[in-house]
Amino acid sequence: MTNELRVTVWNEYRHEKRSDEIAAIYPNGIHDAIATMLNAQPGIKAGTATLDEPEHGLTDDVLTNTDVLIWWGHMAHHEVKDAIVDKVHQRVLNGMGLIALHSAHFSKIFRRVMGTACSLKWREIGEKHRLWVTAPGHPIVDGLGEYFEVPHCEMYGEFFDIPQPDALVFISWFQGGEVFRSGACWYRGRGKVFYFQPGHETLPIYHHSEVQQVITNAVRWCAPVDVVGFREMSQAPNVQPLEKISDEA
């Protein structure tokens, strides 16, 4: 493994091509905005992949050489091939980090790793969003205050149908009254998964400094850990005892 963290930012890349308003915010796509931001961080090298590329840009070679995969999708979740979801899932179980952003709550890969419906409430009126830190010792909140605000956002509200997180990093308050578990971590096999709510396509949320800080921190937290000789998660080996076991009492 190289010392540089290898990130792939995946985007379905449809909204930006169909709407001038969205293209004005993300001229080269949300994936490009996030990858450019990450490439300005020390020790991170980010590439991109999109839905309309062959194998959605997630070839075996790309997946093998990805430490952390960031996923953004909204209108085309159903177009993602199950065979690719299977491969991404196996990579997560074997150590690749996965960061699901905003509407990726309904992506095939996030629902697969969660095992629940991942449904929620939503409202799109551009209200204020305040994210409270609920795990002040967690690396994902490094550099933040006890809360930060996104001035205009899409509301996501509880009940969010996810399994209990292994660490809940943010709880959000929205101006309209709802709350939401907006930053949550899970372990899956050798891999780590982070869900992060901010990011509606018609709002410049990925240009927001605290949102960028969280994504950068999350990339570092999700990085694989090198466990020498650890088995593939698809294997369930029958093994010999480490100590000699005798029948004598």
How does strand 167-174 pair with strand 191-196? unpaired
Query: Using CA atoms, how far apart are residues 5 and 225, in angstroms rounded to an integer?
Result: 12
**What's the min distance (Å) between Cβ of 56 and Zn ion?**
21
**What's the min distance (Å) between Cβ of 108 and Zn ion?**
17
**What's the min distance (Å) between Cβ of 112 and Zn ion?**
21
User: Closest CB to Zn ion among 57 and 199?
Assistant: 199
How does strand 147-157 pair with strand 97-101? unpaired
User: Closest CB to Zn ion among 106 and 132?
Assistant: 106
**What's the min distance (Å) between Cβ of 153 and Zn ion?**
9
Contact residues for Zn ion (CB under 5 A)? 103, 154, 200
How does strand 179-188 pair with strand 191-196? antiparallel
**What's the min distance (Å) between Cβ of 6 and Zn ion?**
28
Q: For 78, which DSSP code?
A: G
| Cα atoms in the Cβ-side hemisphere of radius 13 Å centred on 194 | 25
What residues contact residue 74 under an 8 Å CB cut-off, 6+ apart? 12, 14, 15, 102, 103, 104, 201
User: Closest CB to Zn ion among 96 and 131?
Assistant: 131
* Number of Cβ within a 10 Å radius of residue 146: 9
Q: Give strand pairing partners of 188.
A: 191
User: Closest CB to Zn ion among 12 and 154?
Assistant: 154
User: Closest CB to Zn ion among 55 and 127?
Assistant: 127
**What's the min distance (Å) between Cβ of 199 and Zn ion?**
7
How does strand 68-72 pair with strand 5-11? parallel
How does strand 121-133 pair with strand 68-72? unpaired
**What's the min distance (Å) between Cβ of 119 and Zn ion?**
14
With residue 209 as reference, give the H or E element that holds it: helix 209-222
User: Closest CB to Zn ion among 15 and 188?
Assistant: 15
User: Closest CB to Zn ion among 22 and 185?
Assistant: 22
DSSP result, 10-33: EE---HHHH-HHHHHHSTT-HHHH
- Longest Cα separation, the chain: 79
| Residue, CB closest to Zn ion | 200
